[in-house]
Amino acid sequence: MSYPDDYSTDIEKNKMDLKEFKEKTQIAELESKVLRLELKNKDINRENVQIKKENEILKRELDKLRIPPLILGTILDKVNERKAVVKSSTGPNFLVNLSQFVDPEDIVPGARVCLNQQTLAIVEVLPKEKDYRAMAMEIEEKPDISFEDIGGLNNQIRDIKEVVELPLKNPELFEKVGIVPPKGVLLYGPPGTGKTLLAKAVAYETNASFVRVVGSELVKKFIGEGAKLVRDVFKLAKEKSPCIIFIDEIDAVASKRTESLTGGDREVQRTLMQLLAEMDGFDSRGDVKIIAATNRPDILDPAILRPGRFDRIIEISMPDEDGRLEILKIHTEKMNLKSVDLREVAKIAENMVGADLKAVCTEAGMFAIREEREFIKMDDFREAISKITGKKEKCSYDMPQLTVMYG
């Protein structure tokens, strides 16, 4: 059977098109494979680079572990740019060379250095030694208490602003007048009157660093340990200048010196002498202000009370009726009150301090919660005052009357 020439030509053309299509398809598949292989190769190269980096890090760590430990020493004297006299931690003194990697400017008497075990050459200068206990006393976050949150202490707030806040914020005022700004303030008064609150407010109102110390933390067991901690606290304060040091319960470390021969008393006296030297010693304190608080001013050593150490001694007395009213207004600002006469509450709450009044407000709220009410009424405050007063009478012991102690 024969086909027309045109038909045969079409068949041949279709065969050619089919062959061309197959070739293009194969080329596309090959190109796709090549692209996938290239991507895979890039991933492998990337992983290879990452593995090499990790390998280098591990090699460096391994090299560090293979290096023998270094000997600690202290610089006694610098002979020249490349030699120094060092006291090693093992005991004897050595004249040693400086490694080429050590800056001669860092070699000063008292500096801590690392020595090679074999040659005793100085290979590294260590940073200055700091007591971790002193570092922990620095408050990074400011308290959220401002002077507006303290009631009944307007005169005391004015005094503490003049002594602590004003010299830090406007030192030029003192330069113009030609006087040296006060260095410290002592707050004394019964417990709960707001001494610590005032210190927190100063920390909030100023941009200065704030270091809080409790007096008992400075009393240590071993000889010289308490004095060293005092030095480190003031050293930290100078580095963080301007800075405020708040010493709470200072009577724990600054009580009157006696003829007692016990080891504990002698160590407390050593710590006190170091504190006196740091407060007004040979070296300038710079922009470091001190606030101290105590419930027992009658037992403090006279040396710490003189001007130059505490330039102003402020009594934080028990609030009067107007003061109690101010405190109650602050603590009840966010409370849901109904028919409550705060003036009457202030009259009833006689002989109560700020901490007592805060407890009264909290207790009045608890009475309302017990009765499933969403508001607080006058009777809640009366019951709360009776409860807090009863607690104080129950917990009172035979001790000197506060009125005798504070006049």
Helix (H) or strand (E) holding 263: helix 263-280
pLDDT of amino acid 392 = 63
Which residues is 289 bridged to in the sheet?
244
What is the residue type of 3? Y
Return d(Cα 226, Cα 370) in angstroms, integer.
50
Asked whether the beta carbons of 164 and 185 are under 8 A apart, the reply is: yes
Q: Are 294 and 243 in contact (CB under 8 A)?
A: no
pLDDT in tens, the chain (407 residues): 455 555 566 667 677 767 777 778 888 888 888 888 888 888 888 899 899 999 888 888 777 666 778 888 888 888 888 888 988 877 788 888 888 778 888 888 888 888 888 788 888 888 776 655 555 565 656 777 888 888 888 888 888 888 888 888 888 888 888 888 888 899 998 888 888 888 888 888 887 788 888 887 777 656 677 788 888 888 888 888 888 888 888 888 888 877 666 656 677 888 888 888 888 764 555 678 889 999 888 888 888 888 888 888 888 888 888 888 988 988 888 888 888 888 898 888 888 888 889 999 999 999 999 988 888 999 888 999 888 887 666 555 444 454 444 44
For position 7, what pLDDT does the model report?
56
- Alpha carbon distance 86, 96 (integer Å): 7
Nearest to 198 by CA among 134, 279, 292: 292
* The predicted structure's pLDDT at residue 83: 87
Cβ atoms 238, 288 nearer than 8 A: yes
pLDDT score, position 139? 60
The pLDDT of residue 369 is: 92
Residues making up the binding site? 192-197, 331
* 283-to-232, 238, 280 alpha-carbon distances in Å: 14, 11, 8
- Return the amino acid letter for 309: R
pLDDT of res. 397: 45
Question: Alpha helices of 67-111 — where are they, by DSSP H?
Answer: none
Cα 381 from Cα 399, distance rounded (Å)? 29
Spatial separation of the C-alpha atoms in residues 168 and 190, rounded to whole Å: 29
Question: Known binding site for ATP: residues?
Answer: 192-197, 331
Half-sphere CA count of 384, side-chain side, radius 13 A: 25
